Structure 1
Amino acid sequence: MKGMATVEQAIEEKRLFMIDYHDLLLPYVNKVRELPGTTLYGSRTVFFLTDEGALMPIAIELTRPKSPTKPQWKRVFTHTYDATGSWLWRLAKIHVAAHDAGYHQLVVHWLRTHCCTEPYIIATNRRLSVMHPIYRLLRPHFRYTMEINALAREALINAGGIIETSFSPGKYSMELSSVAYDKLWRFDQQALPADLISRGMAVEDPTVDHGLRLTIEDYPFAADGLLVWSALKQWVEDYVTHCYTDADAIKSDGELQAWWGEIRTKGHADKKDEPWWPKLETPADLVGILTTIIWVTSGHHAAVNFGQYHYGGYFPNRPTLARNNMPNILPSR
């Protein structure tokens, strides 16, 4: 690790990072392996942040849980210079790339920016009149989302559709997405600053721009995203301040309160009692809620959707499906 004396030192200096798909994928490994022409592992990948500011993968753990006929199989792969170790390392990276591609589409893209935004759109159309200032603010950011989601249900995420036939979880893809919603989704962490902090990619620092110091400087999603986030927040703040002068104006707006109540208690009913839902009592509360919704439907969606083909269109860059297990060089895989 480039001269680091211990792992503890690397962690303290924020030089180690992990992509952890172990807990989410592991319950599906044996079920997915029963499907023809595909396989799956639980995975953890450890990266080291080099002096040049690049993340270098240094270890990959692949796990298959115990099954009725086999004991648990788990192995850590690292980069080596012998022929066998080098190819095992490359194959392990392919499996992780397939996990990452599936998680990206099923959780980061579909779940966060399409599925979880439907309650915002439905409540906006049900509870806010077309003349309401918040309806007029949100409507452009919701354009086409429901239509796209309907088309996705017909040909993309439907049973036997493109997602189920192209990604490693197979017919369990939507189930896995639902489990991720149950275990991982929180409205308060959809805001970009909260998202970055929760993932260890930033820490609060009032002395720097946007009040956040990035853990990795060369991180375009965060660096560029914070510029977009700040612009959105300023625009929303100016708009809300113009429409609502004080807390009483927020509390007395029946349409607005019904809108936020439906989002929480109807649209996300299974999470309606969670303590992390923001209250809607002041103009500042409304600014935070609206900025989060607009960010997810615009900036966040643009980041995870529109640039995909330029990199993932070349399949070796972004394999979505692993068909074969790791070579059986060591005990049962």
Structure 2
Amino acid sequence: DKFAWLQDDEFACQALAGVNPVTIDGLQAFPPVSNLDPAIYGPQESALKEEHIIGQLDGMSVQQVLKENKLYVLDCHHIYLPFLDKINALDGRKAYATRTIFFLNSLGPLKPIAIELSLPPSGPDQSAAHVCSNDARVRTHACMEPFILTAHRQLSAMHPIYKLLDPHMRYTLEINALARKNLINADGVIDASMFKSWRFDKEGLPADLIRRGIAVPDPTQPDGLKLLIEDYPYAADGLLIWSAIEDWVRTYLKSWHNESINVGHADLRQESWWPTLTNGDDLVFILNTIIWLASAQHAALNFGQCPYGGYVPNRPPFDEKW
């Protein structure tokens, strides 16, 4: 359907299974609040009010849907608002900082119920312009570079860990070099925003889903957590891949564990290149996370760019004012 991009269902589907399915968060309070300086960027609280969404909550109150984990948000407001003056100063260009609110009803898929478009320092608008709510986040190439450099500098090419990681490190540095001028450049949107919240121990899929309010811990489930949005392909399929990577890494490490403990690198085994690991599970988690970011998550965030972004109306990089 060449007009599917116009439909609310498709817009919501792409938030869960499109080119950027890692940005949606569980909404913990309504209206949303930013952490930007109000003296520079205006009111921190969203202009969205209860009356804007109450008619689309299937008869439930806002507090009730928050309690039952039925409201979700794509919040790009605090990330993009500081850069809008520079973007919109370009001839014929128009961009917004957005907040998109989704409602998870019991009978159907996730659906968008409000989109807020903000400009500094004037007041925001509400709009159903799906194209203005698309964004992307560099979560694979930029954050992998330190691990790749460290592996090349500190590990022998014959080291079992190097051999395990090498296929997943290929070409990343070359791509980063090309992107450094404009995508991950100093003082750019990624440099100014991503580092504030990035933590390696939260980048593994289970921890990321819990952090974003998309899942809750549940020891009765195979992966130790329960998805709050059942129809979330990135998460559901991703957990299967995460577990498969973990099994493979654990099996691989066991195959050379005795030699590494009792023999090691002879003249180099006492070098302190990494904080001391107290058990094998820590090493499994570290390697599992690195491989996940470089392979499965990289594929989810990058390989859909052509089919989703190649049709410009579906995901335009900017809006042009006519």
TM-score of the aligned structures, taking structure 1 as reference length? 0.72
**Residue number in structure 1 paired with 2:156:** 129
**Residue number in structure 1 paired with 2:140:** 113
Matched AA of 1:95? C
Structure 1 residues 229 and 197, CA gap change in structure 2 (3 angstroms)? same
- For residues 1-57 of structure 1, the C-alpha deviation after alignment (integer angstroms, 9 at most, x for no partner) is 342320011111111101111111111122322122212222211011122441211
Structure 1 residues 4 and 183, CA gap change in structure 2 (3 angstroms)? farther
Matched AA of 2:72? F
**Residue number in structure 1 paired with 2:115:** 60
Stretches of structure 1 that go unaligned for 5 or more consecutive residues are 67-71, 78-88, 165-171, 262-278, 326-333
Equivalent of 1:309 in 299, 306, 309: 306
Structure 1 residues 286 and 179, CA gap change in structure 2 (3 angstroms)? same
**Residue number in structure 2 paired with 1:81:** none
Structure 1 residues 202 and 231, CA gap change in structure 2 (3 angstroms)? same
**Residue number in structure 2 paired with 1:73:** 123
- For residues 191-211 of structure 1, the C-alpha deviation after alignment (integer angstroms, 9 at most, x for no partner) is 011111111111111111211
Paired residues of 1:257 and 1:280 also in contact (CA < 8 A) = no
Matched AA of 1:73? G
Paired residues of 2:58 and 2:105 also in contact (CA < 8 A) = no
The count of aligned residue pairs is 266
Equivalent of 2:202 in 189, 210, 223: 189
Cα offset for 1:122? 1.0
**Residue number in structure 1 paired with 2:274:** 260
Structure 1 residues 129 and 248, CA gap change in structure 2 (3 angstroms)? closer
Structure 1 residues 125 and 37, CA gap change in structure 2 (3 angstroms)? same
Cα offset for 1:96? 1.4
Cα distance in 2 between the residues matched to 1:250 and 1:121: 25
**Residue number in structure 1 paired with 2:283:** 286
Paired residues of 1:244 and 1:250 also in contact (CA < 8 A) = no
**Residue number in structure 1 paired with 2:220:** 207
Paired residues of 2:115 and 2:128 also in contact (CA < 8 A) = no
Cα distance in 2 between the residues matched to 1:179 and 1:252: 40
Cα offset for 1:143? 1.8
Equivalent of 1:240 in 248, 253, 268: 253
TM-score of the aligned structures, taking structure 2 as reference length? 0.74
Matched AA of 2:233? P
Cα distance in 1 between the residues matched to 2:108 and 2:308: 21
Paired residues of 2:217 and 2:224 also in contact (CA < 8 A) = yes
Matched AA of 2:315? R
* Identity of matched residues, %: 45
Cα offset for 1:90? 3.8
* Structure with more helix by fraction: 1
RMSD: 2.8
Paired residues of 1:43 and 1:62 also in contact (CA < 8 A) = yes
Stretches of structure 2 that go unaligned for 5 or more consecutive residues are 1-55
Cα offset for 1:250? 12
**Residue number in structure 1 paired with 2:181:** 158
